[in-house]
Structure 1
Amino acid sequence: MASQEVEVEQRVVAVVVIAAILLAVGLALGFGINKSRPKAVPAPAAVAAAPSADASADAARVVVEGGVVKFFFATGKADLAVDLSADVQAALNDAAAAAKAGKKLVVSGFHDSTGDAAVNAELAKQRALTVQAVLVNLGADAAAIELKKPEEMLGGTDNAQARRVEVVVQ
């Protein structure tokens, strides 16, 4: 009988340990998903005068060029552009549909060379995760999205062009 009691105790301990592991993994996944979700972007305040050239160059925006969706970000931010044109929305929906159909989406982040390189690389990563979350929210399978390591843009390009994330369907 003593061996049966030990066996029961071992099973109880095993169940408790497995439950604790599952809880820890669930919490880690939940925290990771929560961190990767795009933050809500407040609506822009009405502006009486036209924005300056410097302000518009640093503004978040999304464009489609040659079938590549390019997300541009303001300096030091991972917030998405508020207003998306019909072309951009259609391109994002097409990308999500392509992922559902078995194609791969490659999300590439870039950053400029000003400031701390490690901070810039982390910000580029956060921007790419924000774009990935948008694609998943549109129905793309997360497994069909490949995140490429952020790349630093060196010389010959302006900083606004360097602060971008691109989505390419392959």
Structure 2
Amino acid sequence: MSDANDDAQTYALGAIAAVVALVIAGVLTLAIGRSGAPKAPAAATAVAAAEAAAPRVYFEVDSDALPADAMEVLNRVAEAARNNPGAPILISGFHDASGNAEHNADLAKRRAQAVRHALEANGVPASQLQLDKPQQTLGGGDPREARRVEIRIQ
């Protein structure tokens, strides 16, 4: 009789495990189906969110020349500045801790000045544009972040 009870218990536990597995599979199927397209990696999502909050221009290594793709960002900022006359626009250059600190800070400043001049050329009054002191990145992320200029309309 004990063998019959053991067999019944084994059968019942197997049936419960099968039901649980089916429920989990169904939940996963629903979750995947509702999520739609695959999500971007967290780092890419964070960079996109930061760019939406503060437009950024990324420069080449050891260069203060505006990159070709900067005009799209600068045109959007100039348009926003024209829509918010008198609103201060803060321009911040960034650098990392590698190499000569004085050179890096100067390079970040020249990059910010290049962005400022481009915005002035695009019709943004100089009185709206404010340069911020060059800032050092904290590292650990995308190396491009150390070669950026952020533009924030206050």
Alpha-carbon separation, structure 2, partners of 1:82 and 1:139: 19
| More helix as a share of residues | 2
Alpha-carbon separation, structure 2, partners of 1:73 and 1:82: 10
User: Residue by residue, what CA displacement relative to the aligned partner does 1:9-68 show, whole Å, maximum 9, x if unpaired?
Assistant: xxxxxxxxxxxxxxxxxxxxxxxxxxxxxxxxxxxxxxxxxxxxxxxxxxxxxxx82142
Alignment pair present for 1:159 and 2:152: no
Amino acid at match of 1:126: R
Find runs of 4+ consecutive structure 1 residues off by over 6 angstroms.
none
Q: Which runs of 5+ in 2 are unaligned?
A: 1-49
Match of 1:108 among 92, 100, 109: 92
User: Residue by residue, what CA displacement relative to the aligned partner does 1:85-125 show, whole Å, maximum 9, x if unpaired?
Assistant: 75x354133233146x1111010110011110000000000
Give the structure with higher Rg (CA): 2
RCO higher in 1 or 2 (8 Å CA, sep ≥ 6)?
2
Change (3 A) 1:153 1:84: closer
Question: Is residue 96–residue 135 contact of structure 1 (8 Å, CA) maintained in 2?
Answer: no
> Which residue in the other structure is 1:137 paired with?
121
| More strand as a share of residues | 1
Q: If the length of structure 2 is used for normalisation, what is the TM-score?
A: 0.61
Q: If the length of structure 1 is used for normalisation, what is the TM-score?
A: 0.56
Match of 2:61 among 58, 62, 75: 75
% same residue = 37
